[in-house]
Structure 1
Amino acid sequence: MAPPELTQWLFNPFYSQARDTEHRRLLVLTGDYEWVNQRLTSLLSDIPPSLIVKEIGGETSLLRKHLLGNECDIGVVHSHQGFNPGNMMAIAGTIRWGGCLILCCPALASWHLHAKHTHLSHGFKATQSLYIKRLVAIIKSNADVAVWDGNHRHIPDLVGSDAPDSSNNVNPIEPEGSIYPRVSKNAQATQPLGDDETRKPQFKSLDQQLAFDCLTNRWSQDIRKAVITAPRGRGKSALVGLFVASRLNKGEKVAITSAIRDNTTTLFKHIRLGMGLLNSEDKDQAGQSSDCTANPPDSNDTEPDAAKSATKENFSIKKGGSAQWLAPDNPTLINGDFDLLIIDEAASFPLPVLKLLIGAHDNYVITTTLQGYEGSGQGFMQRMLPAFETEGAVHLSLRTPLRWPKHDKLENLIHNICLFEGTESLNTVSDAPRQVLQEVSRQAPQEVPREVPIEVPHKPSTNKCSNDYRMGLVSALSEHQLQSVMQLLATAHYQTTPDDFMRLCDSPDIILFTEWNASRLTAAAVINCEGGEVLADVQKGIADGSRRPKGHLGAQRLTLLTAHPETAAYRYWRINRIAVAPYLQGQGIGTGLIRFIKSQALSQDIDALTSSYGTSYKLNKFWQQCGFKLVDMGEKPNKASGETSALVVKAISERYRPQQEILSCLFAYSQKNESVLLSALPDIVRKTLMKKLQHFVNATRPLNQVGFAINALAAELSVSNKYISNAEKSTKMPTKMCKNETEAVTPQLLLLLGSSPLPTNQLIQLLNVSGRKALTDALRKKVRYLLSCVMT
């Protein structure tokens, strides 16, 4: 049974006539799984049907990508099976005025000791979660957070109060759906707090109106490119919907795309609101519905009929305008004839897809969320916004919250917890949490490799400025330093998420390098400790491709390249991320930080530094200038960035230099355009390729890792009279080289096997197999026979 005072605290804002000024709240239900779920069921058992509850993190709850564009009154985060910061940020962004986020979690006192670590690299252990410990410290020190466990409860503003007021036992105010505040019977909208009196009634904030006017003016001047950014709940969907409505009324054809179809429900609702196709009763229904259909009503529909389809994704009007939602991979988006393209939540799109869509349209409006769980809006702005502005696109930013009040307590709290991107809230942490967090840092066990110091200040004697380099653990950072590091990483990298920061705080194999100028962070690098003794039990399996333990990305790729278990036994520092403050880039700061990392790696007896990155002219030049050698290139572009990955290595110890020479030699020969005979290769390269081919035959190494080896093997056999007679060569007819049908090899097959890259479609046709898996199986048999010919 839920305590009456807690029920009153939870539901009172929903009964308030001024709900649109009520802050949102956080309730923590903490204890064992069964107790928490029983109390949650009890608390929500009498919830009015007009209130919307959404859950995330449970076995049957929503995936967070489906929460974009939705709203609710109560959001529930289930954390007993593992805490996910992105889930909490996602559902918090859907909660509207006076609503509540309910966090269901293990007992606060011991949660950090039993947190599930799904990100640990092989060979590393974590006995606690420093991220969770910090989260609990913030919760305990915040008087506005309600906490209910088996022993006591804390209820803000109601401690020691009387029983609930019986006068509140009435039906709650009906929610309006979406971002619109209550509208009185005479249809005059209530002004949000602090808004300008000159704001037009169809807009819910002055900056929304100014953005609409700017878009309209630009379009009238035939400058038709725009990017709209804002944190969650600022009315981007409403703004775009109203703007699309204005274009439809001019007879234009509009295409709308998003990663998830249902995420545009609010946008389509506002299109109809802007066109006057919804009455007040329709607004609630449209705001809450997620049952979208793809069938457009007939163009001759009357306005009342159109209003009935308030959430449909396709529709047209008598004036000739039309709007339709299309999936990002729909060819019509590229080939169709549209007057305007809308891309909703662009930061959630892979860059190649985004660039392809933009390249196919002259007129577009792109929206993206800042502080978004689906990806770093700041990273998007660093990577893509300059390109848009070069094309003449206007950048519009919305700041006024419409789904909750300004300076909302829950929004501030979530941003402080998630350490995600720069906001005003990051400077408003009270002194009490800082004192607790400092205690957390002092008590944190230093679970990193024994050779890593907690912090090593370093000031080169030739450096006349106040910059200093530091090496240490994330747990040793002060709150201010922690926020600075997380914000820089979010700004510098595309699609950084809050989950990345939890891994950074809790992974025992991570070291942080930073450069500071006084109290300002200028650069940071995240280092993963890889290889060495922790891989001793799996290094043979890594070398032949049969084992892929978690983590150790650089060490594993290098071991696969050499096909030698000893490669995994060396100790590596992989530079996972390196970021320089945007306003300081191009001044040698990143290069200086790399020099410091090299010096510390040498003192810590590290064998080599590695890094994997998306290739570009700028980055290739940077790593080359830092003395790194390119030893591997990915075959396919990364789905998110569109860039092909490169692996670079820098020998630190003398014992590793022969290993780097082998890697460089292997890479150099693999990049040759012409066929190279197996016998013409250096001895170490030939032996390595033979090992890889044997691994392929044994079905432990995939086909995409032996293309060069198959090329060399086929080239060797194609020119050797030992395997094909002169008569057979002169006829140029496919002649079997063995009696076994499954091992039959012909000159035509050898010709294809000698081509780079391997022509898979032609091989499939020649071998009469179906699909890549069947082709791989067939080639294993062919390669087994070819190897036997070479070794005889």
Structure 2
Amino acid sequence: MLNSLHRHCVWLQANWTDWLPELLAFQSTKLAIITDDEELATNIPLGFVISTSKAKQLLGQTLDILVLDVRWGLSLSQLSLLAGCVRGGGIFALYTGNILSWLKAPDHQLDRYLPWPLTSAQVPQPYKQLFYRALQQGPFTDYFPTTIPGVESESLELTPAQQTVQNSLTCTPVTLLLAARGRGKSTLLGAAAAYWQQQHYSVAVCAASRQQTLAGAEQFEQSRQVNSPFPFFSPDSLLASTQHFDLLLIDEAASLPVPVLVGLLSHGKHVVFCSTNDGYEGSGKGFGIKFRQYLRQQGISFIEHNLLTPTRWGENDPLELWLEALLFSGTMRVAQKWVENTLNIQAYHSQQWLEQTDLLDQTFSLLVNAHYQTTPDNKRWLVDDPSATTFIATQQGQVAGVCLTTSEGELPRELALQIEQGSRRPRGHLFPQSMLAHGGYSDAYQYRYWRVSRIAVSQAHQRHGIGSALIAEIQSRAVSANVDMLCTSFAFDKDVLAFWQSLGFSVVRVGVSKDKSSGTYSIMMARAIKPAAQQSLSKWVAEFRHHFVCGLPLRVQDLDLVSCWQLTQPLGEATESLPLSDTLRHHLGLFAHYSRPLETVQTLLWQALQPCWLSSNRTETILLLTRVAFGEIHTGNCQQFGFKGKKDFIEQARQNVAWLLSTYEK
């Protein structure tokens, strides 16, 4: 028998004409039916129908009844998100229609992930079989309950756990507040904003969108004692301002890139980062891992709170337990201890997953914990995309490392020309499309690539060579599979870049603007397998390095010079220096050996430095002279960089420019 605060789970297989009258008989004003069926929509009162593309608008709302129509497409991310909108005692219904027909039907959600020219009508969909099993084993009935309990008026009183957190928010510079959905995190945020305002603190609430703070704003309105507006600020507006608050509350922090979170730290005396920890919005749990690492590295004091008891529904709610088992059941079973010489690497693909459900759960669990961009939909993608292969490193049956690859390339020449000209952007094929559209490398279409889209190693197994072992296994299999080139793409990180460079991968592209999801630049790297591909790759790398160095004055606004240097360094092959023009040699010589003022040769100095970025290994000198050329170091601030004073700075600059001139042949 269900607890009155447990949610009812209903599986609708009959035609909607059979169950819709019964549903509408509940006469709930908090009903939502998510569907793209126009005929069904016309039979539902206005305001209760939402298209699947707009379903995310329900985030932050509380519903009595929600029906999710998945007949034409199953999105696990959407399922996870919408389930959290249903209150305790309410109804969550999945509408599949006839299950046998649904298992074979095309799926518009899957179509979004499949690479051109594939469609869901052309490929098997093994994940639907896994989902069918989960439905059969879940808490679903095929009928609605006779009644649903009414909603008691919500108390403004916080729970003891919430009260404890609220009172501690100004005890330390940073607070991390983590909770699964339905634990009252947003309610606490709104109540805390009102409470601390009443204590005469300046308070701001920040989130990626105002929609994410609806529950908090409602609680704020109910809790406030003065007629003040909800103090919402977008991240962009805060970062662009000089505003500083006594208390800054950031909701759904995991949906913001870590560089943005770092920037927000300077806008509050006390900063609270609130987030769900189940990855339903595509944040995964990488937020907690990476952000904690940053805080510790910077010596920033923080405390962490976890809200464990649900407030929106009862404990041991059957829908919550079912979703946890469906999406995150492998969380506690990822390998925890390194054992020498026991690593085993295998590849899994498509229908092989039907017999490896436990391994699938462990694999997805590791990805959720390692990558902030991991979404529930990714679990279906790695099973259903025929171009995807998952390489798994295990120890004694437990997952220690995971690497996801996708097969790309071998595009028709006509399509490649359209991509290069900017008139087509087919699904998938990320690497060759970028080489064509952004790099202008016309021969990129013809090669077959394996792109590493995700790589993760459990914390207990890092620094043991598992990542390298995975790539070595992929390389070996790529040779047998007649692959021309391995490639990868990732958000810029010095350690990640060094990892790929150590494996022989070269940078071929750096994004021209920061990626919205990561807050930094995207990087593309490649390693050739076949000689013909190596010839092309060498040309791509040379062109990239030349263009990147020429545009360096623009890059240093967002990327430090050490990072830029790392991005442009060759893998062993140095580029020969070009002769220096007589004009440059003359002007720089007057500075190096005589009394020419530095300010008159800064632009000329950068012209002479550019070839050194492509050929010299005297890193410190080149970086120092580049900072001088760009005006980062000058007579007014030189002591901050270790110089004794203006005279010492100019003298050493002259000596270094003299060395620079000596590197060029006359």
- TM bucket normalised to smaller: 0.7 to 0.9
Cα pair 2:178 2:306 within 8 Å, conserved: yes
- Please give the residue correspondences for 1:653-668 in structure 2 after superposition, counting only pairs within 5 Å: 653-668=530-545
Match of 1:176 among 126, 145, 152: 152
Q: 1:570 to 1:337 in 2, by over 3 A?
A: closer
Could you tell me how far apart the structure 1 residues matched to 2:184 and 2:249 are? 15
Aligned match of 2:10: 27
Could you tell me how far apart the structure 1 residues matched to 2:441 and 2:87 are? 57
How far did 1:665 drift?
1.9
Aligned match of 1:346: 253
Match status 1:253 vs 2:164: no
Aligned match of 1:123: 117
- Please give the residue correspondences for 1:361-760 in structure 2 after superposition, counting only pairs within 5 Å: 361-388=268-295, 390-417=299-326, 419-420=327-328, 465-477=341-353, 478-532=356-410, 535=412, 538-560=415-437, 563=440, 565-673=442-550
- Please give the residue correspondences for 1:59-70 in structure 2 after superposition, counting only pairs within 5 Å: 60-61=49-50, 63-70=54-61
Could you tell me how far apart the structure 1 residues matched to 2:419 and 2:198 are? 62
Aligned match of 1:756: none
Report the 3-state secondary structure (helix = DSSP H, G, I; strand = E; otherwise coil) of the residue aligned with 1:639.
Answer: coil
C-alpha distance after superposition, 1:615-640 (max 9, x if no partner):
12101100000110111111111011
Aligned match of 1:777: none
- The one-letter amino acid of 1:89's match is S
Q: 1:333 to 1:564 in 2, by over 3 A?
A: closer
Segments of 5+ residues of structure 1 without an aligned counterpart are 1-11, 148-154, 159-163, 181-200, 278-298, 300-305, 307-313, 316-322, 428-462, 676-792
Match status 1:54 vs 2:50: no
Could you tell me how far apart the structure 2 residues matched to 1:375 and 1:138 are? 22
How far did 1:333 drift?
8.2
Could you tell me how far apart the structure 2 residues matched to 1:176 and 1:423 are? 35
Could you tell me how far apart the structure 2 residues matched to 1:224 and 1:386 are? 16
- Please give the residue correspondences for 1:150-299 in structure 2 after superposition, counting only pairs within 5 Å: 155=143, 173-176=149-152, 202-204=157-159, 209-210=160-161, 212-213=163-164, 216-217=167-168, 219=170, 222-271=171-220, 274=223
Cα pair 2:193 2:205 within 8 Å, conserved: no
C-alpha distance after superposition, 1:110-167 (max 9, x if no partner):
212213232211133543322222111221244x3123xxxxxxx59x9xxxxx7xxx
How far did 1:612 drift?
1.0
Aligned match of 1:105: 96
- Please give the residue correspondences for 1:84-103 in structure 2 after superposition, counting only pairs within 5 Å: 84-103=75-94
TM-score, normalised with respect to structure 1: 0.62
Segments of 5+ residues of structure 2 without an aligned counterpart are 38-48, 553-666
Cα pair 2:392 2:403 within 8 Å, conserved: yes
Could you tell me how far apart the structure 2 residues matched to 1:332 and 1:553 are? 31
Aligned residues: CA RMSD: 3.2
Q: 1:71 to 1:244 in 2, by over 3 A?
A: same
Could you tell me how far apart the structure 2 residues matched to 1:561 and 1:347 are? 30
Cα pair 2:258 2:287 within 8 Å, conserved: no
Report the 3-state secondary structure (helix = DSSP H, G, I; strand = E; otherwise coil) of the residue aligned with 2:94.
Answer: strand
Report the 3-state secondary structure (helix = DSSP H, G, I; strand = E; otherwise coil) of the residue aligned with 2:274.
Answer: strand
Report the 3-state secondary structure (helix = DSSP H, G, I; strand = E; otherwise coil) of the residue aligned with 1:410.
Answer: helix
Could you tell me how far apart the structure 2 residues matched to 1:211 and 1:504 are? 38
- The one-letter amino acid of 1:503's match is W
* Greater Cα shift, 94-103 or 108-117: 108-117
Cα pair 1:540 1:564 within 8 Å, conserved: no
Aligned match of 1:699: none
Could you tell me how far apart the structure 2 residues matched to 1:381 and 1:408 are? 26
Report the 3-state secondary structure (helix = DSSP H, G, I; strand = E; otherwise coil) of the residue aligned with 1:516.
Answer: strand
Cα pair 1:610 1:647 within 8 Å, conserved: yes
Could you tell me how far apart the structure 2 residues matched to 1:673 and 1:108 are? 59
How far did 1:565 drift?
4.8
Aligned match of 1:325: 232
TM-score, normalised with respect to structure 2: 0.73
Report the 3-state secondary structure (helix = DSSP H, G, I; strand = E; otherwise coil) of the residue aligned with 2:460.
Answer: helix
Could you tell me how far apart the structure 2 residues matched to 1:173 and 1:567 are? 62
How far did 1:351 drift?
3.8
Could you tell me how far apart the structure 1 residues matched to 2:551 and 2:202 are? 51
Cα pair 1:64 1:90 within 8 Å, conserved: no
Could you tell me how far apart the structure 1 residues matched to 2:130 and 2:330 are? 19
Aligned match of 1:695: none
Report the 3-state secondary structure (helix = DSSP H, G, I; strand = E; otherwise coil) of the residue aligned with 1:406.
Answer: coil
C-alpha distance after superposition, 1:175-221 (max 9, x if no partner):
1366x5xxxxxxxxxxxxxxxxxxxx9343xxxx34542552463xx
* Greater Cα shift, 93-102 or 471-480: 471-480
Aligned match of 2:563: none
Aligned match of 2:136: 140
- The one-letter amino acid of 1:41's match is L
Could you tell me how far apart the structure 1 residues matched to 2:302 and 2:235 are? 21
- The one-letter amino acid of 1:249's match is Q
C-alpha distance after superposition, 1:344-392 (max 9, x if no partner):
1112234443333223222111210122422224121122233245411
Cα pair 1:631 1:647 within 8 Å, conserved: yes
Report the 3-state secondary structure (helix = DSSP H, G, I; strand = E; otherwise coil) of the residue aligned with 1:407.
Answer: coil
How far did 1:228 drift?
0.3
How far did 1:464 drift?
5.6
Q: 1:617 to 1:43 in 2, by over 3 A?
A: same
- The one-letter amino acid of 2:117's match is G
Aligned match of 1:76: 67
Cα pair 2:277 2:285 within 8 Å, conserved: yes
The structure with the largest alpha-carbon Rg is 1
Could you tell me how far apart the structure 1 residues matched to 2:102 and 2:517 are? 34
Cα pair 1:531 1:568 within 8 Å, conserved: yes
